[in-house]
Structure 1
Amino acid sequence: MADGVNDRDQVRREHAEWSQATFGNVGPVGPLKHLAKEAIEAAAEPDDLSEWADMQFLMWDAQRRAGITDEQITKAMIDKLAVNKQRSWPEPKDGEPRLHIKEQPAPVVPVVPVVPATLPCSVELKPGLIIGKGCKTETLLTALRRRADYNADIDAMTPEERAEHDASIKAFKAMLAAAPQSPGSEPATVPGKWIPVSERMPEDRISVILWDAEIGEVTSGHYSHKTQTFYHCGDAIENEITHWMPLPAGPQESKS
């Protein structure tokens, strides 16, 4: 038994050293969010011991980064066990989460709000970013969900990853600002030239190349003059689009 405890303590110390060297001084939120993902994977394959190992690593890491000692955890477990023993529990069902109280009150049916299919008015998500009237409501909700996922990814970054991410965006913005335009030509007719949206918007519903300044990525999409919104694959782009350029012209057949 002692050897098993010693092995476990050794693994715990080695994991803490590796995690600290790899991820630096970040808080417990990232490991806890990752723990939720691993728990779902373990539920799908409960016999996979590697999933259990990952969950234990993440629990150790979150506890250490939160500054919580084993003694504090043990005290909390003793108190919580006493509370749980006083509760009435329903019959367990495999694959279902256990409810805390056996006698559950009748569920309150919430009033479902009537959501219009399209926005009845413009919505300002943040200063300078407006989703125009007439945009599909589901499109806006999808954009907001994607934004939440992106913010979660940013929060989970290590300081080094965040610095690299911000530096790449800053460098590309500087490149766009320094990009020359051919004199005497309309920007939209010059292939390979980035056009600031402050100077000119694309034609209505014409596919173009877009620069997403917030996440530092090049994407494609179109602009709707009606809703005053950029779209990608039918979904509204919530992030700030600062530049665009026409798609490259297709190959021309040579005339003999």
Structure 2
Amino acid sequence: MFDLRAHLARQRKFSRKTFGPGPRTAGVLDHMRKELLEIEANPDDLEEWVDEMLLTFDGALRRGFSPDQIVAAIEAKQTKNEGRVWPNWRAADPDKAIEHVRGVND
């Protein structure tokens, strides 16, 4: 069974050793933008989606969030999204973001 907390601790160690210490926020965001272009070019390449996930985790770890905090935030955000009111996806443009209804169950 995959352990996200253990993975995040492993990733933090690798990233600091490989890319150096500090937040490196601008560098992480620059890399994320490049990965998004690669996803747009080939959305069926799972590895590109995973690259984006790993960069997101790296950015959060470099901002000082612990693996436990990241896992808790993922769980809390999913629960929050499940409690929100969403428009009917059938009426939405499939090429645009579907955002929750503001002011209702925020």
Same fold, TM exceeding 0.5?
Answer: yes
Q: Is the 8 A contact 1:12 1:60 kept in 2?
A: no
Cα distance change on mapping 1:49 and 1:80 into 2, 3 Å? closer
TM-score by length of 1: 0.31
Amino acid at match of 2:101: I
* In the alignment, structure 1 residue 34 sits paired with structure 2 residue 56: no
1:10 CA displacement: 6.3
Q: Is the 8 A contact 1:28 1:61 kept in 2?
A: no
1:100 CA displacement: 2.3
Amino acid at match of 2:96: E
1:51 CA displacement: 0.6
1:91 CA displacement: 2.9
Unaligned runs of 5+ in 1: 104-256
Distance 1:39 1:47 in 2: 13
Identity %: 33
Cα distance change on mapping 1:83 and 1:57 into 2, 3 Å? closer
Cα distance change on mapping 1:19 and 1:26 into 2, 3 Å? same
Report the equivalent of 2:44: 47
Cα distance change on mapping 1:89 and 1:16 into 2, 3 Å? same
Alignment of 1:122-201 (within 5 A): none
1:23 CA displacement: 2.2
1:45 CA displacement: 1.9
Report the equivalent of 1:80: 77
* In the alignment, structure 1 residue 100 sits paired with structure 2 residue 96: no
Report the equivalent of 1:90: 87
Cα distance change on mapping 1:87 and 1:57 into 2, 3 Å? closer
Distance 2:77 2:14 in 1: 32
Cα distance change on mapping 1:44 and 1:31 into 2, 3 Å? same
Q: Which structure shows the higher helix fraction? A: 2
Q: Is the 8 A contact 2:9 2:67 kept in 1?
A: no
In the alignment of these two chains, the number of paired residues is: 97
Distance 2:49 2:14 in 1: 19
Residue deviations 1:197-234 (CA, integer Å, cap 9, x gap)? xxxxxxxxxxxxxxxxxxxxxxxxxxxxxxxxxxxxxx
Cα distance change on mapping 1:67 and 1:22 into 2, 3 Å? same
Distance 2:20 2:85 in 1: 44
Residue deviations 1:68-113 (CA, integer Å, cap 9, x gap)? 123212332343334323322123343321122179xxxxxxxxxx
TM-score by length of 2: 0.63
Distance 1:81 1:10 in 2: 20
Q: Is the 8 A contact 2:86 2:101 kept in 1?
A: yes
Q: Is the 8 A contact 1:89 1:101 kept in 2?
A: yes
1:32 CA displacement: 3.3
Tell me which structure has the larger Cα radius of gyration: 1
